[in-house]
A and B are shown apart, each in its own frame.
Chain A
Amino acid sequence: MRQHHDMGGLPAGPVDRREHDYALWEKRVDALMMLLSEPQRQLLRVDELRRNIEALPPDAYDSMSYYERWISAIAHTLLQRGVLTADELGRKLAEVEARGTAG
């Protein structure tokens, strides 16, 4: 069966040609991917990033922005590899949300 991300050739509307400048947080997500993939770390392969993006349910895939899908997939990969544990990520996330700033 065709998976949700496999959209080549399907009918779709006109191309929305509007562009946005990437926000700092999006660039940071990109930087995380680049750094984790570097040969000296090898903590993320592009196949893992893609597998974890493609594993998103269709409604999540469509409603999440591009870098939202990426950070979700990066976090999943790090959990799958045991680089991070769900506990520590959950605790840190609560701490960041309580703090409410990126700094």
Chain B
Amino acid sequence: MTEIHHLHPHRHPAVPDDDGPLGYYQALEVAVRELLVEKGIFSGDDVRRAIEAMDARTPAQGARIVARAWTNPAYKARLLADGTAAARELGIDTAATRLIAVENTRLLHNLVVCTLCSCYPRMVLGLPPDWYKSRAYRSRAVREPRGVLREFGTVLPEDVEVRVHDSTADMRYLVLPERPDGTEGWSEERLAGLVTRDSMIGVTRCRL
């Protein structure tokens, strides 16, 4: 195998925008992209469209799923039975990955991690936060989840069971957080405003 990273004579710092000098891997991205465009495998417009589509995938999509499940017991049952189909009902396509929704209750708290890489429900929530991909989170979430949760300000009573889900390339988990007390009669839209990205990863809970 050509060791691309070994061809690199010295390391450049990551460049935050495209105005500065190109780092090696940024140049590699440009080179690969231009060659693929020249070969007609895709066009520059395809790349722009793919970026726009990814930018449009945000935690607001997940919040719509959660708020629907909170207000519609039949939808919630469908979501827990088949997350992929329930997302599709709301116009959210999870592509080749299977979506599995796991429900938090008074006695059960779910936490999602990907220890081997960074599998994340990206088609629902968009791109993952940096810490989700970090060594510290990936290593510790499965061994000492309560300690990790505490770092996110989430302190769970001892009698609450913590269940950690290790994602795979094909199976992506979405936490269905507990609906906060005091939200009786709220509209779906207003409820969706309470649902944060972190609560759908399981590192925090939804609050008023």
B41-57 contact mask (Cβ, 8 Å, vs A): 1 or 0? 11000110011011100
Contact-size category for A: 35 or more
Q: Is the CB of A23 within 8 A of B4?
A: no
Would you call B108 an interface residue if the criterion is a C-beta within 8 Å of the partner chain's C-beta atoms? Answer: no
Which one, A27, A30, A75, contacts B28 given CB within 8 A?
A: A75
Inter-chain contact total with CB atoms closer than 8 Å: 177
The segment from B18-26, B62-70, B99-107, B155-163 found at the interface with A is B18-26
| Those of B58-85 within 8 Å (CB) of chain A | none
Q: Is B130 on the interface with A (CB-CB < 8 A)?
A: yes
Distance of A83 Cα from B1 Cα, bound (Å): 14
Are the C-beta atoms of A66 and B22 separated by less than 8 Å?
no
**Binding-face segment, B134-142, B175-183, B184-192:** B134-142
| Chain B residues with CB under 8 A of A29 | 29
Task: Tell whether, in the assembled complex, residue A35 and residue B131 are in contact, meaning their CB atoms are under 8 Å apart.
Answer: no
CB-based contact B139/A18 at 8 Å? no
Closest to A39 in B: B96
Task: Evaluate contact between A15 and B42: CB separation under 8 angstroms.
Answer: no
Report whether B18 and A19 are in contact in the complex, using a CB–CB cutoff of 8 Å.
no
Asked whether A7 lies within 8 Å of B34 as measured between CB atoms, the reply is no
Docked CA distance A65–B46 (Å): 25
A101 with B22: CB separation less than 8 A? yes
Contacts of A8 in B (CB 8 A): 113, 115-116, 138-139, 141-143, 166
Identity of the chain A residue whose Cβ is nearest the Cβ of B38 in the assembled complex: A92
Asked if residues B137 and A89 are in contact (CB atoms below 8 Å), the reply is: no
Provide the bound-state CA to CA distance between A74 and B4, in Å: 11
Is B90 at the interface (CB under 8 A from chain A)?
no
For B36, what are the chain A residues with a Cβ–Cβ distance below 8 Å? 32, 36, 78, 83-84
Contacts of B4 in A (CB 8 A): 72, 75-76
Q: Establish whether residues A27 and B55, one from each chain, have CB atoms under 8 Å apart when the complex forms.
A: yes
Nearest 6 A-B pairs (CB), nearest first?
Answer: A8-B115, A31-B50, A12-B139, A68-B25, A92-B31, A12-B136
